Amino acid sequence: FSSSAKLICSDLRKRLDLSTLEMLVFLLYNKVMWDANTFESIRL
C-alpha cells in the first residue's frame, strides 16, 4: 500500500489533497469494482 501511495504522491503531485490521495488509492486497489461507465452514470 505505501509504495503505491508513494507513486501517486510524487514530487509532481505534492499539492494533492489527502482525501484525493485516499480516493486514488482506493480506486487503484478496487479497480474491478468500477469502470468509465460508473463515473458517467454519476455525472448524469
As a whole number of angstroms, the distance between CA 31 and CA 29 comes to: 6
Chain position carrying cell 482506493: 26
In single-letter form, the type of residue at position 41 comes to S
pTM score, whole prediction: 0.47
5 contacts: CB under 8 Å, gap ≥ 6: 21, 25
Of 30, 36, 27, the C-alpha closest to 8 is 27
* Separation CA 13–CA 1 (nearest Å): 18
| pLDDT tens track for 1-44 | 556 666 655 665 667 787 887 888 888 888 888 888 887 887 75
